[in-house]
Every structure is written in C-alpha cells, then in structure tokens.
Amino acid sequence: MHQCYYCDQLFGSKEELYDHVEVHSDIERNKEIMDRKKESTKNRGQSPD
C-alpha cells in the first residue's frame, strides 16, 4: 500500500500514487498563483483609511 502524503488516500502501486500526486502539485501551483492574485486584489481593495 502506498499512501498519499497530501490527502492520505491509499494506492495499490507506486505508479498510481505518483500519478495521483501530480494532481496535488498542480493544485499547489494553482493555489500559489491564486494566492498571489488574491493578495494583489486584497491590497487593491483595502483603502488605507
């Protein structure tokens, strides 16, 4: 058994796990981009007063 260290899902083979983990790295990358976007939107939306 191989367990995903991101979401604890179990996989019968390493290959399946590796395939699955790819999804998480994509999500992580997207999250980073989203966070950056959110950050800039937040800063723009906040007025100093």
* Residue 34 touches Zn ion, criterion: CB under 5 A: no
| Of residues 7 and 38, the one with the C-beta less far from Zn ion | 7
* CA separation for the pair 47, 34 (Å, rounded): 21
Specify the 3-state DSSP secondary structure of 3: strand
| Of residues 4 and 16, the one with the C-beta less far from Zn ion | 4
Q: Which amino acid is at 42?
A: K
* Residue 27 touches Zn ion, criterion: CB under 5 A: no
- The piece of 3-11, 25-33, 36-44 that touches Zn ion (CB under 5 A) is 3-11
| Tokens, residue 22 | 């790819």
| Tokens, residue 36 | 């950056």
* Residue 18 touches Zn ion, criterion: CB under 5 A: no
